[in-house]
Amino acid sequence: MKIKLFAALIIGAVFSFGVSAQDITTNGVTFPAKLKIGNDMTEYNGSGLRTKYFIKLYVAALYLPNKSKDAQAIIDQDETSAVRLKILSNRVTRERFIETVRDGFATSTEGKATQAEIDQLMGLFNTEFKAGDDIILAYKPSQGIEVYMNGKRLGSVKGLEFKKALWGIWLGEKPADSSVKAGMLGG
């Protein structure tokens, strides 16, 4: 009986270690160490907390095929990657999110996004946001950006140049928030 109990404790300890090694908690948000996008596996590169007027708005995590601190290389690469946003505040409304992303495209120094592509992306967000929402913007080569909200696929926008402009919002020369950029790059 003692041997079975000891074996169960050892197995439990090993299993617990394996589970915790799979998750990364940052700024009170837990992200998986790996994120499968289609048939490709990406890994957590880093994340950053977006605040405004001392209010925690969201945490943005970057997933890449291989870890990197080179923002320009990440923006330019035509490989599977993702930005995952965990909404922390009910102040992040659908309208404010859309306005902020539109402003981000206006200041992004990367890629090229047409007004039609930006409108297409923003049109995918047709439900109200709330704290706890999980948004994934996943890039797949030759397919473009696929958008998921709380596990539900909302649609997609094609094009590498569009992906470059979108990633440029967080990682470009004029990012929406320099501390989020630093965090996403593993800093």
Provide the residue-wise pLDDT of the chain in tens; the chain has 187 residues.
Answer: 444 433 333 333 333 333 345 899 988 999 999 999 999 999 999 999 998 888 899 999 999 999 999 999 999 999 999 999 999 999 899 999 999 999 999 999 899 999 999 999 999 999 999 999 999 999 999 899 999 999 999 999 999 999 999 999 999 999 989 999 999 999 7
| Pairing outcome for strands 23-26 and 152-157 | unpaired
The strand order across the sheet containing 81-87 reads 34-37, 40-52, 55-64, 81-87, 134-140, 144-149, 152-157
Whether the CB-CB separation of 90 and 183 falls below 8 Å is answered with no
DSSP state of 52: E
Report the alpha-carbon distance of residue 186 to residue 183 in Å, rounded: 5
Return the bridge partners of 48, or none: 60
Res 8: pLDDT = 37
pLDDT at 40: 95
pTM of the model: 0.86
